[in-house]
Structure 1
Amino acid sequence: MTDVFINLPTRDLERCKAFYAALGWEINPLFTDENAACVVVDKNIYFMFLTNDFFATFTDKKIIDPTTAAQASCGFSRESRDEVDAMMEKGLAAGGSEPRPSQDYGFMYSRDLEDPDGNILGFLYMDPVAAEKGPEAYLAEQGAQA
């Protein structure tokens, strides 16, 4: 089993913890202190939010400002379009923003949420048939049924 730890900088650790808790994700207190917060996304997926100063100790590269530059976008599948919208509503209510309109391709529906630091979270629903067979086969079947 592989655990995934995604390290991201934050300008305000307390605001960051409140935002991710509002999404329904747990803050693991065993790996949270004044420099970092461990957000449990799922059984094997964790965000490690590090203060900018602490994050800088892990690299010699320049730390970008995610409000003006994008380096990564983390995508999370949901079980339905309604669940995508529900996550977005939680995030928007907690101080996040939606940087662009939703994307609806028929077989896939997605929305992007920026956290208060500007980190991009994508939430998406993909039709199970499209996920299994691929979008082209799904769209061909839909055309045949029309």
Structure 2
Amino acid sequence: MYQQMIFVNLLTDDVAATKRFFTELGYTINPQFSNDDCACVQISDTIVAMLMTKQHWSQFTQKELVDSTKASEVLLCLSAESREKVDELVDKALAAGGTVHSEPQDHGFMYGRSFDDLDGHTWEVMWMDPAAVQAQG
């Protein structure tokens, strides 16, 4: 069966720093689609983040570009397999230079934390109890 993928495109001011940041979170950089203007971050088999310089991004749109340190452009949310994995990933992001976006959200059956990366993009990481999801179904 075909596995649909998502390619999230985001702006970055410093491709080299972005590569280091996401590598420290445990992700890999795909060199085939990375260069001085773009970092191709492989998050999973089906999720890829393309972090591009403004000059490179401008080839794809005529719209005004957003400064993600001053305006919210998108909230990205990644699932985690446990509460501990939520904490592990967010703690790695903070140690790599990210900043806390908001306080942790703990609803018992669902737990999440969020951080802003080096360019101000907000990443939420959340875990939801599979039993609670099945009970809703």
Give your verdict on TM over 0.5: yes
Q: How does 1:1-146 map to 2 (within 5 A)?
A: 1-134=3-136
| Counterpart AA for 2:127 | Y
In structure 2, the partner of 1:142 is none
Relative to its length, the structure with more helix (as a share) is 1
- Aligned-residue sequence identity (percent) comes to 38
Partners of 1:2 and 1:77 in 2: how far apart?
Answer: 17
Give the C-alpha shift of residue 72 in structure 1. 0.8
Q: SS where residue 130 of structure 1 aligns?
A: helix
Larger C-alpha radius of gyration, 1 or 2? 1
Flag as ranges the 4+ runs of structure 1 deviating above 4 A. Answer: none
Aligned length: 135
Partners of 1:124 and 1:44 in 2: how far apart?
Answer: 18
| Counterpart AA for 2:117 | D
| Counterpart AA for 2:37 | N
Partners of 1:131 and 1:97 in 2: how far apart?
Answer: 30
Partners of 1:71 and 1:91 in 2: how far apart?
Answer: 20
Structure 1 residues 20-53: Cα deviation after superposition (integer angstroms, max 9, x where no partner):
0011000000111111111000001100111111
In structure 2, the partner of 1:144 is none
Partners of 1:103 and 1:72 in 2: how far apart?
Answer: 19
Once superposed, what is the RMSD of the aligned Cα atoms?
1.1
TM-score normalized with structure 1 length = 0.89
Give the C-alpha shift of residue 133 in structure 1. 2.4
Structure 1 segments unaligned to the other structure (5+ residues): 138-146
Partners of 1:61 and 1:132 in 2: how far apart?
Answer: 42
